[in-house]
Amino acid sequence: MTWLFDSHIHLSDPEYHKDLNQIIRGMETMKIKACCVSMDYTNSKRTLEIAQQSKLILPFIGIHPECANETLDPMITLIQDKIDIISGIGEIGLDPTYIHNDEDKKNQIYVFESLLSLAEKHDKPISVHSRKSLDDVFDLLTSYRTKNILLHWFDGNKKQLQKAMDLDCFVSYGPVMIYANDKQVLLAKTDEDKILVETDGPVRFSRCFEMKSAQIDFIPSVIFCSSKILNKQFDEMALILEKNSKNFLGI
């Protein structure tokens, strides 16, 4: 039996709260497991709570660059206390969108490096946010022996994609790939064993998705699109992605 994986979704977001039981039932029916990433300390605790409801929810906890100005110590303690329970650390990374002064930049780098160090120490996979910051992220990653790195929602150019492959990173593609030619080109140039798929819900997508919040049941559509781009059958693509997802998660 092949399992499908959503490599990056925020199921702990309030957007999903009232429908969570229905979402889990859908995951059971469709055979989908989800890497549930977090934004900050409070959201990480919520992620751990909902992960207790189903083994299909794989908890990632961490501090998103948008939240890098929060106190780091409680997050480090939480990760260390739950290190045997969590599937990985994330969402972590860099993003100049949320930088308004030098102090913000220093905080982002400090938080990212601190959590990279924890991932290295405990050999945990990481889900990395790298919007408008890929080159800086690459520079920091080379200083750590962190394994199983996912550059989620890969949005770089071809040269940056090659750098990601050289660094042995996984990269993930989401619903936007279904209607965005540039993402389709990047997918076609990605090493087959480094491709993952995601929704990044509750992000909203246009075109065929009519600006609806991403749902985990978008995943089969992303896989189908991937299979067409790579000239494979759906089942073959699903098997490749299952293997890649397990390799990323170290399971």
Report how far residue 22's alpha carbon sits from residue 108's, in angstroms, rounded to the nearest whole number: 36
Beta-carbon contacts of 95 under 8 Å, excluding residues fewer than 6 positions away, are 65, 66, 108, 129, 130, 131, 132, 133
**CATH number of the domain where residue 119 is located:** 3.20.20.140
Beta-carbon contacts of 76 under 8 Å, excluding residues fewer than 6 positions away, are 114, 118
3-state secondary structure 167-201: CCCEEEECHHHHCCHHHHHHHHCCCHHHEEECCCC
| Domain of 172, in residue numbers | 4-249
Q: What is the pLDDT of residue 86?
A: 98
Q: What is the pLDDT of residue 14?
A: 96
Beta-carbon contacts of 3 under 8 Å, excluding residues fewer than 6 positions away, are 31, 32, 33, 242, 245
Q: What is the pLDDT of residue 212?
A: 86
Q: What is the pLDDT of residue 243?
A: 98
Q: Which of 238, 17, 12, 58 is CA-nearest to residue 150?
A: 58
- Helices marked H in the chain — which ranges? 20-30, 41-51, 73-81, 102-122, 134-141, 158-166, 181-188, 219-229, 234-249
Query: How many domains is the chain built from?
Result: 1
- SS3 of residue 132 by DSSP: coil
Give me 107's structure tokens: 């905080």
Contact 196, 248 (CB under 8 A): yes
Report how far residue 8's alpha carbon sits from residue 200's, in angstroms, rounded to the nearest whole number: 5
Q: Would you state the torsion angle of the CA atoms of residues 118, 6, 239, 128, taken in this order, to the nearest 10 degrees?
A: -40
Low-confidence residues in the chain, pLDDT < 50: none
Q: Is the dihedral of CA 182, 228, 223, 161 positive or negative?
A: negative
How do residues 118-177 score in pLDDT, each as one tens digit?
999 999 999 999 999 999 999 999 999 988 999 999 999 999 999 999 999 999 999 999
Report how far residue 46's alpha carbon sits from residue 50's, in angstroms, rounded to the nearest whole number: 6
Give me 120's structure tokens: 């290295």
